[in-house]
Amino acid sequence: MSNPLHGAQFVLAAHRISQLPADHGAEVAFAGRSNAGKSSALNALTGHKGLARTSKTPGRTQQMVAFALPPLPQGEGGTPLQARLIDLPGYGYAKVPEELREHWRHEIDAYLHRRRSLRGVVLIADIRHPLKEFDRTMLEFCFQTGLPCHLLLTKADKLSRNQAAQALAAVRKGFADGAQASAQVFSSTDGTGVEQAREAVLALLQRERDR
């Protein structure tokens, strides 16, 4: 099966939402704590090892980074869809000044509320630990606004299959009734769940905006 996210290319890094690409087409945002493996997940999903920077020092993503995808077919005779992935700044671990933290709290909130091309959020969380405050806050926002959220429980290769299944079940149990939320186990190291996650991202990009 061909990779619909292959061919992703860096476009720009923005300090404010006003600097992002024009607000048309469709995009999916990637969010998560700085040490949850967000960059590695992006690289695995796109099949481009050097697309998103990975570092032994978490928190290197200090801007909103836009990656353009090849136009997505929209049925026979349909205009191809201009699509993007947006890598939001890693949160909660990076040693950054409080002023910068506050800036990103404001900008991410504005992005999630105002960005008309946003179709959904991919939330990255380490499967070895309970969801953190940021993770729960993001899920609650998505629940309240009807924005679909797909949760990748990363680093599944660090657990046994049974442990990973138990962690996944616990997360799903916490989803609010009626929420447009889904979750899966994932590992960029051994490839667990990569195809499933690609399909989820593609489905988000191709969905109609209903809010």
Q: Per-residue pLDDT tens for 48-93?
A: 988 887 644 444 557 899 999 999 887 777 788 999 999 998 876 5
Nearest to 69 by CA among 45, 100, 40: 45
pLDDT score, position 151: 98
Q: How many domains does the chain have?
A: 1
Residue 90 lies in a domain: yes
Whether 3 is in a domain gets the answer: no
What distance in Å separates the CA atoms of residue 118 and residue 138, rounded to the nearest whole number? 15
The reply to whether 198 falls in a domain is yes
Asked if the structure places residue 148 within a domain, the reply is yes
Structure tokens at 120: 């959904």
Tokens of 128: 């070895």
State the Cα–Cα distance between residues 39 and 146, nearest whole angstrom: 26
Range of the domain at 49: 9-206
CA 96 to chain CA centroid, nearest Å = 22
Using one digit for the tens of pLDDT, what is the confidence trace for 84-125?
999 998 876 556 678 888 888 899 999 999 999 999 999 999
- DSSP β-bridge partners for residue 124: 32, 152
Tell me, what DSSP letter sits at residue 91?
B
CATH classification of the domain holding 48: 3.40.50.300
Q: What torsion, rounded to 10 degrees, do the Cα atoms 108, 111, 117, 123 define?
A: 20
CA distance 122 to 20: 18
Average pLDDT value for residue range 158-172: 96
User: Could you tell me if residue 125 is inside a domain?
Assistant: yes
Rounded to an integer, the average pLDDT of 152-157 is: 97
Q: What is the pLDDT of residue 91?
A: 74
| Structural domain includes residue 211 | no
pTM greater than the 0.85 cutoff: yes
In a domain? residue 1: no
Whether the CB-CB separation of 164 and 127 falls below 8 Å is answered with yes
Residue 150 contacts residue 156 (beta carbons within 8 Å): no
Query: 16: left (phi > 0), else alpha (psi -120 to 50), else beta?
Result: beta
